[in-house]
Amino acid sequence: MFKILEANELAANIHQLIVEAPRVAGTCLPGQFLIVRAEEDGERIPLTICDYDREKGTVELVVQALGAESRKICRKKAGDSLADVVGPLGNASDLCSEDIEELKKKKIVFIAGGVGTAPVYPQAKWLKEHGVDCDVIIGAKNKDLVILEERFKTVCNLYVTTDDGSYGREGMVTKCLQDLYDEGKRYDHCVAIGPMIMMKFVCKLTKELGIPTIVSMNTIMVDGTGMCGACRLTVGGKVKFACVDGPEFDGHEVDFDQAMKRMRLYQTEEGRLALKEQEGDTHHGGCGNCN
């Protein structure tokens, strides 16, 4: 069991949990994720890591109460426990293995949409700790849904934009990026994390602007080990599994339309059977030894 030390509501339906998980906190890096179960018999849900404290042995999760399982997690209070916190899973952000002096020469922009703001924070913080500056654009539907603003201000140059203009700039993140470009900003590298539809349109724009772009693919996940096929997607014409090959990919190579269609199909038994039939041997990744 993994004890919850703090539980807060950051915005409507968006909850922050600080969880005791020393083994995860000791090794995780920005970009990686966890698979969490509220109770022993619960459904597994993938959650990105918002922050970690190696000394205290804690990880911070930001969870949106969407389905039954995430609502169960969001109802937890300080002193309660989570049955499973498995991880760190997936690959760390490529930024963590790049030469720091080379990174310092790059103009980096992160685009953080809605709850996808949470996994951007550890990347911006990691860069700040390594002396690398970056810009971050946070996009939210309205003022009440902007999260982590004060913490971001301490690690980056921040732009906030709301769809309805109730706070910061007005419009979606793509409009903000285009406006910054029109105001003379130039970027060498973009990382976009948020709803898939947002990442699709950010990539469309950054392709036009010639900015290499990394996205973090938040597909449905079940086992997190490449075996079940839930997180299958196509990147550069090749079959990939977000849990083991990602979650970060070259956004200009991702087939977002297929990924979004597949997520919808995967939600029903009938859809899963149809995908299994269509995808044949490539439906799941396998363990590497079972052909």
Residue 174 binds to ligand NAD (criterion: CB under 6 A) = yes
Give the number of other CB atoms < 10 A from CB of residue 240: 20
Per partner kind, with CB cut-offs from 5 to 8 A, the member of ligand NAD, ligand FES, none near residue 172 is ligand NAD
Per partner kind, with CB cut-offs from 5 to 8 A, the member of ligand FES, ligand NAD, none near residue 122 is none
- 160: buried, middle or exposed (CB in 10 Å: 19+, 13-18, 0-12)? buried
Structure tokens at 256: 């977002």
Residue 213 binds to ligand NAD (criterion: CB under 6 A) = no
Burial 22-40 (b: 16+ CB within 10 A, else e): eebbeebbbbbbbbbbbee
Give the number of other CB atoms < 10 A from CB of residue 243: 27
Q: Shortest Cβ distance from residue 37 to ligand FES (Å)? A: 14
Q: What is the DSSP letter of 44?
A: P
Per partner kind, with CB cut-offs from 5 to 8 A, the member of ligand FES, ligand NAD, none near residue 224 is ligand FES
Binders of ligand FES: how many residues, by CB under 6 A?
Answer: 14
Residue 32 binds to ligand NAD (criterion: CB under 6 A) = no
Q: Shortest Cβ distance from residue 241 to ligand FES (Å)? A: 5
Structure tokens at 104: 């310092």
Q: Which of residues 55-94 bind ligand NAD (CB under 6 A)?
A: 64
**Is there a contact between 238 and 282 (Cβ–Cβ < 8 Å)?**
no
Binding site for ligand FES (CB under 6 A): 221-224, 226-231, 241, 243, 284-285
